[in-house]
């Protein structure tokens, strides 16, 4: 029996219906995500991306890992009271969905109420949570996702809230000296916060080997403090360094968080791109962007291991602001072995007010492939968690 063209059309429609409603995971159709991974190259501008790409590939135009995510858009970054944001106000816009003044961490000093942050929403839904940074783990960007404080330098209070209120599952970065210092912070919080974490059941680690061992032994609450302040910049890091690199911390965080079948929220910050740009230091900047991209590649490999996981994970790469006003002025030969020196220029050593690029993939990412305000990211992530 031969089928008519009409029969063929009906059959194809049935096949499409079956694929959409019975084979594709619900998250791929609804915009809901089991996991959200937010990756932040702090202070990175588009010219930093160009410089890192050419430094890595020379005349070969291969893109960096994050450049090949499915969606690309951009965000406005201004803070309350001015066009230039700091990391506290920028991260708070993402984490709490509204504008803040510079220095505020998801907290209005004038007494106005604020929304729960994304990490709190994830926790209430039964998901695990993690914060990873190459700066102090209580620095402004991670702080906005795990604390509410009036001043970004309330490091001890931020750590206390991580431990006792937000119950962050994984905390990896620097800043040991800030948590163990005897003096109180500007919020009046004192005491040894490292000891508090141990008392609350965190597995505390101090170097790469201890981190690997904790992960292998199935730790579910993990605090890694690998330096007194920031981690060592890539361009001066020694091969024998005991500090884990960003990609290794990302791997460890994923292995801990993936144990929760309900999913997780994970922030991974390449913090030192910002410091490099503040210093107008070209080798420093390129090293940090490439190290961040290595971490993105690790995360993408984890996501791509399982089609179901890929359909249920929203991955976002976005700088909070641009720093330094970096530009490539020439000649910058693209030959790997070329003799030409890189000619660069900077407009200053502070943050700028330019928009920043957003790269993304996964459920809900289609809403990021356009121009948005940084506060819009909150609603997109909150909807994905529903």
Could you give the residue numbers annotated as active site? 87
Element (H, E) at 40: strand 35-41
Cα 245 to Cα 22: distance, rounded to the nearest angstrom: 41
Measured CA angle at 209 (ends 208, 212), to 5 deg: 85
- Transcribe 133-201 into DSSP letters: EEEETTSHHHHHHH--BSSTT-HHHHHHHIIIII--SEEEEE-HHHHH-SS--TT---S-HHHHHHHTT
Interhelix angle 282-304/46-57, rounded to 10 degrees, is 80
Encoding tokens for residue 268?
Answer: 């991974």
Structure tokens at 147: 């604390």
Q: Which of 118, 153, 160 is nearest to 136 (CA)?
A: 153
Q: What is the dihedral of CA 39, 44, 45, 47, to 10 degrees?
A: -110
Are the C-beta atoms of 310 and 303 separated by less than 8 Å?
Answer: yes
- The CA distance from 368 to 75, in Å, is 9
């Amino acid at each position: 029996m031969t089928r008519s063209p009409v029969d063929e059309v009906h059959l194809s429609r049935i096949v499409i219906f079956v694929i959409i409603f019975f084979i594709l995971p619900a998250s791929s159709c609804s915009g809901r995500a089991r996991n959200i991974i937010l990756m932040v190259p702090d202070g990175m501008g588009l010219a930093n991306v160009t410089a890192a790409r050419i430094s890595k590939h020379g005349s070969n135009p291969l893109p960096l890992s994050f450049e090949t995510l499915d969606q690309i858009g951009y965000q406005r970054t201004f803070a309350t009271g001015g066009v230039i944001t700091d990391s506290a106000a920028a991260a708070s816009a993402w984490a709490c969905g509204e504008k803040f003044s510079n220095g505020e961490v998801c907290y209005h000093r004038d007494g106005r109420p604020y929304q729960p942050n994304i990490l709190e929403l994830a926790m209430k839904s039964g998901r695990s949570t993690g914060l990873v940074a190459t700066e102090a783990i209580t620095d402004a960007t991670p702080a906005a996702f795990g604390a509410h404080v009036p001043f970004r330098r309330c490091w001890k209070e931020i750590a206390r809230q991580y431990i006792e209120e937000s119950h962050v599952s994984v905390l990896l970065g620097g800043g040991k000296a800030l948590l163990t210092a005897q003096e109180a912070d500007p919020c009046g919080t004192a005491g040894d916060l490292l000891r508090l974490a141990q008392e609350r059941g965190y597995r505390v680690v101090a170097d790469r080997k201890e981190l690997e061992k904790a992960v292998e032994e199935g730790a579910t609450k993990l605090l890694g403090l690998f330096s007194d302040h920031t981690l060592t910049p890539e361009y001066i890091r020694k091969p024998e360094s005991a500090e884990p690199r960003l990609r290794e911390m990302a791997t460890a965080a994923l292995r801990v968080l993936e144990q929760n079948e309900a999913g997780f929220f994970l922030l991974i910050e390449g913090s030192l791109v910002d410091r490099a740009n503040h210093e107008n230091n070209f080798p420093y900047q390129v090293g940090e962007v490439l190290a961040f991209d290595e971490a993105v590649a690790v995360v993408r490999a984890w996501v791509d291991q399982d089609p179901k996981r890929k359909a249920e994970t929203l991955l976002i790469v976005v700088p909070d602001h641009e720093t330094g006003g970096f530009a490539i002025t020439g000649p910058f030969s693209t030959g790997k072995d070329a003799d030409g020196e890189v000619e660069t220029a900077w407009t200053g050593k502070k943050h700028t007010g330019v928009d920043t690029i957003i790269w993304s993939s996964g459920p809900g990412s289609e809403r990021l492939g356009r121009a948005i305000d940084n506060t819009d990211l909150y609603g997109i992530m909150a909807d994905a968690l529903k």
